[in-house]
Structure 1
Amino acid sequence: MNVNFKGTTIVSVRRNGRVAMAGDGQVTMGDQIVKEGARKVRRLYDGRVLAGFAGSTADAMTLLERFERRLEENKGNLTKSAVDLVKEWRLDRALRRLEALMLVADREETLLLSGSGDVIEPEGDVASIGSGSGFALAAARALLEASDWEAERIARRAIEIASQICIYTNDAIVLEVIDQ
């Protein structure tokens, strides 16, 4: 599975009891921009979970719906819901072909989910996925270390910086925040 999806950048930042997740709004098909204002970061489970996705939009929406169902079944337990989704994603013949990555977070943890069977808790207080992931990750880590900015300001600025470097990322930013 190709994990370097084009067309999006998602970053999650934790600081001072808050978790912020930001994503750009650009959707591309091949070498064309088809939408500039897509919403790739969502609040789930009564606003207690944030989810961002990279990859094929239809595939990501399918996974998002299934993840939300898992959250309901598991009463908001992020880890159990993530593991259950990834198992289903790996084992189901139709789902196995879906090309997407998800970044999910609640008050306590952030997890990266993939169709390869990965449920990864990233090290540190920053995580990212998508085509501009490396740029956003580096920017957010630097801002976290060198400033006293709040999580949401760092997440927003990291996407802005990624949008200046990655041609598949724009600065039409959707930002969601959860207080711990």
Structure 2
Amino acid sequence: MPLPEIRATTILAVRRDGRVAIGGDGQVSIGHTVAKNSAVKVRVLKGGRVVAGFAGSVADALTLFEKFEEKLERHPGNLPRAAVELAKEWRSDRVLRRLEAMLIVADQHHGFMLSGNGELIEPDDGILAIGSGGPYAEAAARALLRETTLSPRDIVTKALTIAGELCIYTNTHITVLEPTA
């Protein structure tokens, strides 16, 4: 009998006026059961200058965070180059290719969504969302970005709250991080 599918998360990043915030909900679901309410799926990297979040398998995401930090060390101050190098390695490496996770990484100037399929997307509007509640959070963030003057942190918090009210695999135990300058 196959193991129940682990459903994990909603991660959202929003950029406005040279500032960025990334946040995630705290719910981890296994099958139709909530296994944890207060997981933290966002973290700061590179001494606080880069923020990142993951959706998918925790062990796989932690491996990818380590690999990404290696790329940041090799290409200091160059988030786009580090993201491209991780995407290339993730896509071509036999072991990494099997990892089941997606990442959002951002600094003061850039933000990217990365996947094992070789996806490397930097949005036009500064909004990135992944995970089961990603479409809800992205829609809410887009509306808030257009219709308010809220900070990126406030937009992320409000949009993730809305996603948590709609998506059964997302809750409202939210963690939001911002990179240091």
The verdict on a shared fold, with TM-score over 0.5 as the criterion, is yes
Note the residue ranges of structure 2 that are not aligned, 5 or more in a row. 1-5
- Contact 1:19–1:179 (8 Å) recurs in 2: no
Secondary structure of the structure 2 residue equivalent to 1:170: coil
Question: How much has 1:14 moved relative to structure 2?
Answer: 1.1
Aligned to 2:18: 17
Deviation at 1:65, TM superposition (A): 1.1
Runs of 4+ residues deviating >4 angstroms:
none
- 1:172 maps onto 2:177 in alignment: no
Q: 8 Å contact 1:11–1:23 — kept in the other structure?
A: yes
Q: Where do residues 72-111 of structure 1 align in structure 2 (5 Å cutoff)?
A: 72-111=73-112
- 1:39 partner letter: V
| Structure 1: stretches of 5+ with no match in the other structure | none
1:10-41: per-residue Cα shift (whole Å, max 9, x none)?
A: 11111222101110011112222111111111
Distance 2:180 2:72 in 1: 19
- How far the C-alpha of 1:178 sits from its partner, in A, is 2.9
Map residues 62-81 of structure 1 onto 2, 5 A cutoff: 62-81=63-82
Q: Which amino acid letter does the alignment assign opposite residue 33 of structure 2? A: Q
Amino acid at match of 1:15: R
Mapped partners of 1:16, 1:78: distance in 2: 19
Question: Take 1:179 and 1:49, find their aligned partners in 2: how far apart are those partners?
Answer: 8
| Helix, strand or coil at the partner of 2:40 | coil
Shift of 1:125: 2.1
Alignment partners' CA distance in 2, 1:161 and 1:64 = 27
Structure 1 position 52 matched with structure 2 position 76: no
Structure 2 distance, partners of 1:66, 1:179, is 21
SS in 2 for 1:107: coil
Q: Displacement, 1:179?
A: 5.8
CA distance in 2: counterparts of 1:31 and 1:61, whole angstroms = 24
Aligned equivalents of 1:154, 1:96: Cα separation in 2: 33
Hey, what's the Cα distance between the residues in 1 that align with 2:60 and 2:77? 22
Tell me the matched-pair count: 176
Equivalent pair of 1:17/1:179 in contact (CA under 8 Å): no
Q: Which moved more, 1:27-36 or 1:163-172?
A: 27-36
Question: Take 2:60 and 2:72, find their aligned partners in 1: how far apart are those partners?
Answer: 18
Report sequence identity in percent: 52
The offset of 1:146, in angstroms, is: 1.0
TM-score (normalizing by structure 1): 0.93
Q: Which amino acid aligns with 1:21?
A: I
- How far apart are the structure 2 equivalents of 1:144 and 1:69? 33
Q: Are the counterparts in 2 of residues 21 and 177 from structure 1 also a CA contact under 8 Å?
A: yes
How many Å separate the matches in 1 of 2:180 and 2:43? 15
Tell me the SS of whatever aligns to 1:58.
helix
Q: What TM-score, normalized by structure 2, do the two folds share? A: 0.93
Q: 1:45 to 1:179 in 2, by over 3 A?
A: closer
